[in-house]
Amino acid sequence: MLATDGVEQIELTQPRQALQDAGATVELVSLEAGEIQGVEHMDKGDTFAVDRTVSDASAGDYDGLVLPGGVANPDFLRVDRDAVAFVRAFFEAGKPVGAICHGPWTLIEANVVAGRTLTSWPSLQTDIRNAGGEWVDEEVVTDNGLVTSRKPDDLKAFSEALVEAFRS
């Protein structure tokens, strides 16, 4: 999972738990070592220990990637050159990627949405279309290894689709 401060914590914790329950080993990769600050909407939530910094991580070390949302989290990630390259490397390797809520902002910056159908928090639909993607308002969308979802209410379906994509 790639996240930083401002991550919507339930979008981090619920997919992580679903993947762990399915037998996956999940690492939290972030911009800096230490801990990141989760949020519950606009309020501070819990902190989460970082397993590895993105500058020390390689897509080759992982079977898939999850990009949780929150407004600040993907905004910080999409301006970090290492984070964007890390995301792009998963697509270049044909590995599954999941993104929920505002998470697709980082996909847009990585230039990997053109020709794909995906969903997100509704405010990203123009950004996705401008990047060449097709935005749809659905609970979860899977497109050639890319799993996307709109919001915390969709987490059950998103988590199930992630587990299925990662098993493939």
Residue 2 domain-assigned (yes or no)? no
Domains: count for the chain: 1
E strand or H helix at 148, and its extent?
strand 146-149
| 12 found inside a domain | yes
Residue-wise pLDDT tens digits, 39-94: 999 899 999 999 999 999 999 999 999 999 999 999 999 999 999 999 999 999 99
Q: Which of 101, 110, 128, 155 is catalytic?
A: 101
Task: List b or e across 81-90, with b for residues whose CB sees 16 or more CB atoms inside 10 angstroms.
Answer: eebbebbbbb
Q: Is 41 a catalytic residue?
A: no
Give the torsion sign (CA, 11, 161, 147, 149).
Answer: negative
Is 101 part of the annotated catalytic residue set?
yes
The mean of the pLDDT values for the chain is 97
| Catalytically annotated residue among 16, 78, 102, 151 | 102
Does residue 1 sit within a domain?
A: no
d(CA 119, CA 124): 9
Q: Name the β-bridge partners of 37.
A: 47
Does this model's pTM top 0.85? My answer is yes
Q: Is residue 109 part of a domain?
A: yes
